[in-house]
Amino acid sequence: METVFLTDKGKVRTHNEDNGGIFFLENELALAVVADGMGGHQAGDVASEMAIKGLQKEWSIQSSELLSSPEKVEAWLNNTVQNVNATIYEYAKGHLECQGMGTTLVVAVFTKEFITIGNIGDSRCYILNNNGFAQITDDHSLVNELVRSGQISVEDAKHHPRKNVLMRALGTEESVSADIKTIEWEKSDLLLLCSDGLTNKVPAEDIESILRDDSLIEYKAKELIERANKAGGEDNITVALVKYEWTELGSE
Virtual CA dihedral for 192, 193, 196, 198, nearest 10 degrees?
-40
Return d(Cα 69, Cα 92) in angstroms, integer: 35
Half-sphere exposure of 101 (CA within 13 A, CB side): 31
Which CATH class for the 2-135+169-243 domain?
alpha beta
Which band of pLDDT confidence, cut at 50, 70 and 90, is reported for residue 238?
Answer: very high
Alpha helices, H only, 120-172:
142-148, 154-158
Which band of pLDDT confidence, cut at 50, 70 and 90, is reported for residue 163?
Answer: low
Quick check: 18 and 36 in contact, CB under 8 A?
Answer: yes
CA distances from 113 to 185, 203, 205, 244 (A): 6, 30, 28, 10
Confidence check: pLDDT of 157 > 90: no
Return d(Cα 212, Cα 243) in angstroms, integer: 12
Locate the domains of the chain by residue range.
2-135+169-243
Give per-residue pLDDT as tens, 164-201. 778 999 999 999 999 999 999 999 999 999 999 999 99
Give per-residue pLDDT as tens, 32-50. 999 999 976 569 999 999 9
Backbone angles phi, psi at 231, to 5 degrees: -85, 5
| pTM assigned to the model | 0.93
Quick check: 47 and 38 in contact, CB under 8 A?
Answer: yes
Quick check: 14 and 49 in contact, CB under 8 A?
Answer: no
Cβ burial 99-125 (10 Å sphere, 16+ → b, else e)? eebbbbbbbbbbbeeebbbbbbbbbbb
Return d(Cα 88, Cα 165) in angstroms, integer: 20
Residues 6+ apart with CB under 8 A from 213: 219, 220, 223
The beta-strand segments (E) located in 111-236 are 114-120, 124-129, 132-135, 179-184, 190-194
Quote the pLDDT of residue 47: 97
